[in-house]
Amino acid sequence: MTINKDFEDLAIWKISGELTNLIYSDFRKCNDFAFRDQITRAGISVMNNIGEGFCRNSDAEFRQFLNISKGSVGEVKSTYYIAEDQQYADSDITMDRRNKCQRLTNSLSSFMKYLKTSNKS
């Protein structure tokens, strides 16, 4: 695996940014401000925890932040079910976003495993 010098180079960070932008786009006009705030904060959490963890002093600390990101992805995925139930977004969009969340969760898990098995920790 290539050694990244900046968190902006990480595929998981780029994907999390795409997901965050989709969240903002999907719910820009949503008048349920509590809902919109909750899902956007969860999306931001995914992206920011990857960046913050990358800047920590060890792979063990980075893994902990990736784990927090993974939890936030789960929150986004779950919230898209609510969005569908409340008809804030149609089922095609919510299914696509949940699939993106699952792929991001899988990528985070793989990267965490890599960090754990690498001899950097």
Question: 74 lies in a domain?
Answer: yes
Question: 97 lies in a domain?
Answer: yes
CA atoms within 13 A on the CB side of 48: 7
User: What length does the chain have?
Assistant: 121
pLDDT of residue 118: 82
Q: How far apart are CA 4 and CA 16, in angstroms?
A: 17
Domain that holds residue 107: 8-117
Domain count, the chain: 1
Question: 40 lies in a domain?
Answer: yes
Question: 27 lies in a domain?
Answer: yes
Question: 58 lies in a domain?
Answer: yes
pLDDT of residue 121: 43
Give me the DSSP letters along 23-85.
HHHHHTT---HHHHHHHHHHHHHHHHHHHHHHTSSSHHHHHHHHHHHHHHHHHHHHHHHHHHH
Kindly report the CATH number assigned to the domain that includes residue 48.
Answer: 1.20.1440.60
Per-residue model confidence as pLDDT tens digits over 31-79:
999 999 999 999 999 999 999 999 998 999 999 999 999 999 999 999 9
Question: 2 lies in a domain?
Answer: no
Burial class of residue 27 in the structure, from the number of CB atoms within 10 Å of its CB (0-12 exposed, 13-18 middle, 19+ buried): buried
pLDDT of residue 92: 98
Cα–Cα distance list, 73 to 7, 49, 69 (Å)? 18, 11, 6
**Is the pLDDT at 2 greater than 80, yes or no?**
no
Question: 52 lies in a domain?
Answer: yes
